[in-house]
Amino acid sequence: MLVTKKAPAFITTAVLPNNEITSSFSLYENIGENGAVLFFYPLDFTFVCPTEIIAFNHRLNEFTKRGINVIGVSIDSQFSHLAWKNTDVNNGGIGQVQYPLVADLTKSIARAYDVLIEEAGVALRGSFLIDKDGTVRHAVINDLPLGRNIDEMIRMVDAMIFTNKYGEVCAAGWEHGDEGMKASPDGVADYLAKHSTEL
């Protein structure tokens, strides 16, 4: 389990938003002002994967305005990533997504994040919210047929930023603009007195 630990570092090959290929893409050099979302998907040119990749891209501004960089990873090559980007969405491609796609041909990154299905040689749908200091604050791993919820990741980003800023904790279902809770017996009693019927 990686939550509360430092995200495993890597320097590898990636396709950048402008379609340039770099062989020196560093996770820690690509964490945004408030952190990063690192997500794994099984394979290019598959089925659930493009829906998730496009959904992240459609919400990219929501992450960017929160100071969060988005990074996608699969075990495919940089050339496969680029070919998929250059395939129109109407033909099963992902189009010109505007965040980096990392090539993990050796599967070492997926293995380090404990999302690799060794016998299949592909990664599960792992999503990791990494704080600005490199600490993994949230992780969710879906089986291959189960697409992830990108809006839930945005909610978790908001919760992380809130707790970092105010030092309070976030109750079940907390959303941006909601009241936080002081992490104390009095704090929970006060919160429940006001909000227990909403939970």
Task: Per-residue pLDDT tens, the chain, 199 aa: give them.
Answer: 999 999 999 999 999 999 999 999 999 999 999 999 999 999 999 999 999 999 999 999 999 999 999 999 999 999 999 999 999 999 999 999 999 999 999 999 999 999 999 999 999 999 999 999 999 999 999 999 999 999 999 999 999 999 999 999 999 999 999 999 999 999 999 999 999 898 8
**Domains located in the chain, CATH noted:** 11-164 (3.40.30.10), 168-199 (no CATH)
CA angle 79, 130, 67 (to 5 degrees): 85
From the list 43, 38, 51, the residue with the least C-alpha distance to 122 is: 43
Q: Which among 7, 15, 31, 49 is annotated as catalytic?
A: 49
Residue 49 a catalytic site member? yes
CA-to-CA distance for 141 and 147, rounded, in angstroms? 10
Q: Quote the tokens at residue 54.
A: 């496009």
